[in-house]
A and B are shown apart, each in its own frame.
Chain A
Amino acid sequence: MARSLRILVIEDDREIARALLLRLKAVGHDPFAMHEGGSGLAAAIATIPDVIILDLRLPDMDGFAVLQQLQQHDIARVIPVIIVSANVAERAKREAMLLGAHCFIEKPYDFRKLLAAIDRAASTQLPGAVNTAAAS
């Protein structure tokens, strides 16, 4: 574990969010969670975390919309976004990548893979880069 990262988890399922916070803290990161798209987007813009973990299905605005809005923000667009979703359709993956997601991880996820993806995302932070490397 290279360094402690500030990670924003935007996830509407509170149990999953709780488990993620617990495990991310356990490995030394500094995570915090939001449960709606709108509040998540606001938190991202306000705090500019190192990494965002984003669910696609959210109660108010969906993950795609959050991604789009982030991309339009001068500073927030540089934050790498990792999609963690139970929507594993190819269409969803493609669209997320086109909208600038860093990578896509399917639920149920393998936490070690998620950690690896976080490390990779944090170390390859490029302003506005559209990284097409797939998670798997």
Chain B
Amino acid sequence: MDVFSQDILVALAANLALLALALIAYNQITAFLGKLPGRFGRWFAGLAFGLAAILSMSVPIAVEPGVLVDGRAVPIGLAALFGGPLAAAAAAVLAAIYRLTLGGAGEIAGLIGIVLAALSGILVAKLARQNGSGLAYAHLLLLGILLVFSQLVATLFLPGSDLAYTVITAATAPEAVALPLGTLFLGTLLIQERRRRDAEAAVIESERRFHTITDNLPGVVYQSLLTVGGEISYPFFSAPVQELFGVTAEEAMADASKILNTVHVDDFDRLTASIKESAQQLSVWDHEYRVVRKDGPFRWMHAKAVPHRRENGDVMWDGIITDETERKIAEMSLGVANQLLTSTNQRLSTMYETAHHFVDNVAHEFRTPLTVIKEFASIMEEGLVGEMNAEQSDYLRVICARVDDLNGLVNDMLDLSRLEAGLIGVSRRECVIPDIVGRVESILERRAKASGVDFAVEIEAGLPALFCDPEKIGRVLINLGINAFKYGGEKGGVRLWARRSGNPREIVIGVTDRGPGIPAEKLEMIFERFKQAGGLRDTAKGFGLGLSIVRELADLNLGEIAVESVVGEGTTFSLTLPVFDPPAIVARYIAKLARERTSSFYVSDIRISVSGAVDAAAAADCDAFLQQQVKREDLLMRLGPDSWILLTVDKRDADLRSKAERLRDGLVGHAAEIADGALAVEAQPVGVWRLPHQSEALIARFRALRDMALARRSA
């Protein structure tokens, strides 16, 4: 390389240094302007790179007169890489115009050099885009080499081969060194600047995103700091803090007391204690507290924050706070509703007790004077205080009989009110006709005597056992008897009878009088009343209280009432009751439930048994206990001395299990009272039956149970 070439190289280096200054200025300007939008940015790049090329040409090395060697190719080539083809074209045009104004022998070659430099840049930019991984140093190097060639080619267009030769020999070597190095150097400068700016933009974008998110969250995102010295501060609060606490984020971050002062005075100590605990154990801080805002009533806040200890011992939490006021209010109103329900339940059960007691008390108040009247009438009638003549005795007997009637009425009213309140208990069990008739026979006899009516009891021999509540059926018979004495007894007397019906699973008990009978239309009315299992209040329409009770008690006992009457001959009221045959009883029970319902329903069975030190009396007591637990719609059957089946209209598994549990616990507790030895009690839900569809299956099950019980009894 000769001295001249060395001069060119130095000049080129200076030229490139100038370019570097220009590009740094460009970076500053673009950084100042910010990211320019699309096309405008490209035009600006084109302008800048064009001006750089002009700057480069303004300090040229004149190799020959009119022939200029400089670094212009570098900014024009880079223009394509950093501003795209448009910028390259713009820069090229600017540079070309400037070159034309300079004129000289190298004018055409210069223009060609400019165009080729731009094309080189566009070519490399395209390569870099195709590569996909972006601009690399290799691309810059490639561009540098292409620029060397483009300048070489341009030189060929100098007028006259001598001139071209001179320029090539003098300039090629310095250009081959300076252009690639320059491109690499300046390109790197631009790439780094671009990366720096991209990174900055990414940071700005992520910060913007962070704020967008935290500002729009339905809660506050925050950081709090507890120093070793025990001071609390809030390095960060998201904007919603204003909405929740009524304090702006800036205020809160500047002055922690602004936030702490909003905490409800009653919650403050608890709050600070829990913060300390979280700091000591580095456990998640999960806390609910109230905040009092200037603009209204307090709000409930729920804060959850994760602590971490810093090197200097301070503890920093990252957390969120949400406004839980609505939920708290809902919870509290649920609590209030629960409380209300509990107190209502208590009130209801108190009312239930009160009603029970009231009815008992009223009855008690009636019975006491009735006892006095009856006693003194009897004393006089029996002649204990002086002889009575026949007429006087007769009147006194009437008084006694009517006192019994009145007492029956009191019992009826008692039953009526209990039936209406659903309080009446029914204790259906295996019993025989003498159990029932025995308890009412003497009362009816006395009553007949007082009314001067013949009274007879006719019971068919060898009747099977019944399934009913003997006390309740006794009440039915008393009512039917009194009815007969009143309306039909004058002539031929009254008969109380019991016999088999056509159906082997039923027995009929009846009261027949030889009175005037009931006309057909009135009979039909009475019969209709019996059929409608309707309101008890129809007593007001002239249907006697006694007959209303009869119907209800019959219904409670799975029985049916019928009335037959022939005018001039007499009237018969009869009650059909099931014999003690489990499948037949269940069939009646299902039929009764089905009559009271329109759609299908469920019945479940619970098997109950006691074993251990059970004597007959203890077992009877267990039976009495179970009978008390039975609801009106349930059916309890004692299948053996110590085993029962309870049918209930419950169907939910949990209800059944808790019911079984209640029975078991009750029996165990009860057994402790009555028996010395321990009782083993079992109460187990067995199955759920959909009725009436599965009626046959349920009845068949009870048939099997009956056969088993019979086998055990005979064994």
A interface residues (Cβ-Cβ under 8 A, vs B): 13, 15-16, 19-20, 22-23, 26, 57, 86-90, 94, 98, 106-111, 113, 132, 136
Contacts and interface: CB of A to CB of B under 8 A. Distances in A.
B384 A22 contact: yes
A16 B372 contact: yes
A79 B425 CA distance: 33
A16 B368 contact: yes
Contacts of A108: 367, 370-371, 374-375, 403-404, 407
A106 B407 CA distance: 11
Interface of B: 360, 363-364, 367-368, 370-372, 374-376, 378-379, 382, 384-385, 403-404, 407, 425, 439, 442-443, 617, 620, 624, 628, 673-674
Which of A15, A20, A107 lies at the interface centre, i.e. has the most chain B CB atoms within 10 A of its CB?
A107
Contacts of A132: 617, 620
Contacts of B379: 19, 22-23
A107 B360 contact: no
A50 B382 CA distance: 26
Contacts of A88: 363, 367
A112 to B, nearest CB: 8
A86 B368 CA distance: 6
Contact of B624 (A23, A94, A107, A110): A94
A98 B673 contact: yes
A76 B360 CA distance: 31
B378 to A, nearest CB: 6
Which of B371, B384, B674: most chain A CB closer than 10 A?
B371
A102 to B, nearest CB: 15
Contacts of B371: 13, 16, 86, 107-109
Contacts of A98: 673-674
Query: What is the interface of chain B mostly: helix, strand, loop, or mixed?
Result: helix
Given A15-B372, A23-B375, A23-B384, A110 B364 contact: no
Nearest to B383: A26
Contact of A111 (B378, B404, B425): B378
Contacts of A26: 382, 384
Nearest to A56: B364
Given A16-B372, A88-B367, A110-B442, 7 more contacts: A16-B375, A23-B379, A86-B368, A90-B425, A106-B367, A108-B367, A113-B442
A21 to B, nearest CB: 11
Nearest to B377: A19
Given A19-B379, A23-B379, A89 B360 contact: yes
A107 B379 CA distance: 16
Contacts of A136: 439
Contacts of B443: 110
A86 B363 CA distance: 8
The 3 closest A-B pairs by CB, nearest first: A86-B367, A19-B375, A108-B371
A87 B371 CA distance: 13
B420 to A, nearest CB: 17
Contacts of B674: 98
B628 A90 contact: yes
Nearest to B471: A136
B360 A19 contact: no
A87 B364 contact: yes
Contacts of A90: 425, 628
Interface centre among B360, B443, B673, B674 (most CB of A within 10 A): B360
Contacts of B378: 23, 111
A70 to B, nearest CB: 19
A1 to B, nearest CB: 15
A7 to B, nearest CB: 16
A107 B367 contact: yes
Nearest to B414: A88
Contacts of B425: 90
A77 B673 CA distance: 19
Contacts of A20: 375
B682 to A, nearest CB: 24
B628 A19 contact: no
Contacts of B363: 86, 88
Contacts of B403: 108
10 contacts: A13-B368, A13-B372, A15-B375, A19-B376, A22-B379, A22-B385, A23-B384, A90-B425, A98-B673, A108-B407
Nearest to B425: A90
A87 to B, nearest CB: 6
A57 B384 contact: no
Contacts of A22: 379, 384-385
A78 B518 CA distance: 57
Contacts of B367: 86, 88, 106-108
A108 B403 CA distance: 9
A27 B271 CA distance: 87
Contact of A87 (B360, B375, B442): B360
Most buried by B among A86, A88, A107, A108: A108
A22 to B, nearest CB: 6
A90 B360 CA distance: 11
A57 B368 CA distance: 11
B357 to A, nearest CB: 9
B364 A86 contact: yes
A95 to B, nearest CB: 11
B421 to A, nearest CB: 14
B476 to A, nearest CB: 16
Contacts of A106: 367
Nearest to A85: B364
B419 to A, nearest CB: 15
A20 B384 CA distance: 12
Given A19-B372, A108-B403, A136-B439, A57 B364 contact: yes
Contacts of B375: 15-16, 19-20, 23, 108, 111
